[in-house]
A and B are shown apart, each in its own frame.
Chain A
Amino acid sequence: MGSLDEFTLPVRLYLNTYRWRRIDPVPWTPLRRPLAESRLALVTSAAFTLPDQEPFLDSLGSLGGDSSFREIPVDADLSTLTESHRSGSFDHEGIHQDANLALPLDRARELVAAGRIGSLNGRHFSFMGSITAPGRLMRDSAPEAARRLASDGVEIALLVPV
């Protein structure tokens, strides 16, 4: 399973002293309508980009992490996505084989076809999850992503890290 033991000793030492950002108070939006009537958006931290989008910054380009995000249209061909996640602390092979592992757009389309979910939003968001200094994420990009999804009428979201 996912655990600190997967990481190299320097990474484990870093994480053992890292100050995780505690969400307090924890915000809460109850489900307003049945899932079968709700609009779903997906959010991944796998740093996927489309061919015409800028890749995410690497460690040299952004020491505390790149807090920007990319919009992935609902009709995107997952096989065209490029992954530019800067972390060397996980095996990237799985998401290279199948982007659904972290951005399950095909699975979401199947859920809509089966009637389990009402509809898919027109756009979904890709972040680069390796953000050690998340101030800008919390202040700017996460609220902006939320505003866009709220303005789209999104009611439920599934967020997948790597």
Chain B
Amino acid sequence: MCNQTVSLVAAELERQGISTVVVQLLREAAEAVRPPRALFVPFHHGYPLDRPNDPARQHAVIEAALRLLEDPGATPPVLVDYTLTAP
């Protein structure tokens, strides 16, 4: 339900002129709800930005999300898989 909740909030932000990107943990929800821009991450629920107290790995996820905002050719809905690169 968390995946749907942030997606519905994101849609409202976009309607009011704010560019959004959401992290998603459940593919079924991401595909069904269709947030404007979504990064699907391969982590368990409760761990959306990878590991606690690990700034490098958290930054890696956030950077991947920010890049979705910067893609000038993107068309909605955007759903991209996060590729784990950090050790």
Contact = CB atoms under 8 A, between A and B. Distances in A.
Interface of A: 1-4, 6, 15, 20-24, 26-32, 35, 41, 43-46, 65, 87, 89-95, 97-98, 100-102, 104, 106-108, 110-111, 116-117, 125, 127, 129-132, 134, 137-138, 142-143, 145-147, 149-150, 154-162
Taking each of B5, B26, B52, B62, which has the highest tally of chain A beta carbons within 10 Å of its own beta carbon? Answer: B5
10 nearest A-B residue pairs (beta carbon): A129-B2, A2-B25, A161-B2, A98-B52, A90-B45, A20-B32, A90-B46, A1-B42, A27-B14, A142-B12
A160 B49 contact: yes
B79 to A, nearest CB: 11
Interface of B: 1-29, 32-36, 41-53, 55, 58-59, 62-63, 65-66, 69-70, 72, 75-77
Contact of B53 (A91, A98, A125, A160): A98
Given A20-B28, A26-B11, A142-B8, 17 more contacts: A1-B41, A1-B43, A2-B42, A6-B44, A22-B33, A94-B52, A95-B52, A100-B58, A102-B48, A102-B49, A107-B58, A111-B62, A146-B16, A157-B19, A159-B22, A161-B48, A162-B2
Contacts of A111: 59, 62
A44 B33 CA distance: 17
A32 B19 contact: yes
B15 A91 contact: no
Nearest to B81: A1
Given A131-B1, A150-B18, A137 B33 contact: no
Given A1-B44, A98-B52, A156-B18, A20 B29 contact: yes
Given A104-B49, A154-B18, A159 B41 contact: no
Contacts of B12: 138, 142-143, 145-146
A160 B1 contact: no
Contacts of B29: 20
Most buried by A among B9, B21, B66: B9
Contact of B9 (A2, A98, A145): A145
B41 to A, nearest CB: 7
Contacts of A100: 49, 52, 55, 58
Contacts of A150: 13, 16-18
A26 B28 contact: no
